[in-house]
Amino acid sequence: MKLIIQIPCFNEEETLPVTIRDIPRKIPGISEIELLIIDDGSSDNTIKTAKRLGVNHIVSFPKNRGLAEAFKAGIDACLKLGADIIVNTDADNQYKGSDIPKLIAPIVNGNYEMVIGDRKTDTIDHFSPVKKFFQRFGSGVVRKLSKTDVPDTTSGFRAYSREAALKLNVVSEFTYTLETIIQAGHKKIAVGHVEIGTNGKLRESRLFKGMFSYIQRSAKTIIRIYTMYRPMRVFMTSGLISASIGTLIGIRFLFFYFGGSGGGHIQSLILAAVLLIVGFQLGTLGLIADLISSNRKLLEDVLFRVKKLELNEHSNNTKEVIQKVKNNKIS
């Protein structure tokens, strides 16, 4: 069984050596362990450092594209390199490499297809009380929407089986952490979690400028992804709320109208009509969005099959090249 550990990097010349030194080179049940770096347009010597440290594979972007794009490129490269299990970790040494065997064990044993490391964020000293609160609140929202029991949904220390990695399609340009959990939950991928340790902070986070910026962008991601998978519920609920309020206001107008003072409440009639129309339109949009969602599911199934065919062909071509090289050496 082949394990590839991918590490997205952006100007990680100083922290990368610490991260790589902490990664185990032998794990029970794993025959091959390789490292893959995704250099996200670094302006320092990240690539040179990675080569010096003996990293097996390097994917390099000429310009910074963001964490989500780096993650997607890493997953794609790992699959083409024949990974049976993919571990994603951060280059700032936030996560302990010694926990990788614990992280992948449920996948090796066949219990889960996707495993997320639980940092126990309430115990992390350098997390402020406000950050701890929003971590708990945000994780609770994602658990409910994804129907999973992952306690630390923003953890970037996670493992994927080959099959799970093939099924995930990241569309966010911000971060993959929340999106992949919601996707996995709705695609019936078996998601588990294990408790992990964390190291001391080596640098400040570069993913967002501040806590409220992160909350805002995360909220947008959650709403967008959930709407993709449950459009009928989102639009129908919104439509029913609008129509219900409109109906109540309309009943209020009728009460005054039959009481002989309806002329002074024309605004209520107009507002009720607008809300009822909006409610009807939202319900109609829900039906249309549900049809689009059904087509998207079919397209995702086709994409999954195409990926498998492409990777099988790539694997066969690689085997043919290796065999030719061996034959030439023998002759």
Whole-structure pTM value? 0.80
How many helices (H) and strands (E) the chain has is answered by 10, 7
Give bridge partners of residue 3 from the DSSP assignment: 33, 85
Question: pLDDT tens-digit profile of 23-50?
Answer: 999 998 899 999 999 999 999 999 999 9
Question: pLDDT tens-digit profile of 261-320?
Answer: 767 778 888 999 999 999 999 999 999 998 888 888 888 888 888 888 888 776 666 656
**Burial track 73-106 (b if 16+ CB lie within 10 A, e otherwise):** bbbebbbebebbbbbbbbbbbbbbbebbbbbbbb
pLDDT confidence bin for 206, thresholds 50/70/90: low
Strand order in 2-9's β-sheet? Answer: 57-61, 32-40, 2-9, 85-88, 158-161, 114-118, 191-195
pLDDT confidence bin for 119, thresholds 50/70/90: confident
> Which architecture characterizes domain 2-229 according to CATH?
Alpha-Beta Complex (3.90)
Give me the DSSP letters along 234-255: HHHHHHHHHHHHHHHHHHHHHH
Gap between the Cα atoms of 47 and 36, Å rounded: 11
The per-residue pLDDT for 202 is 66
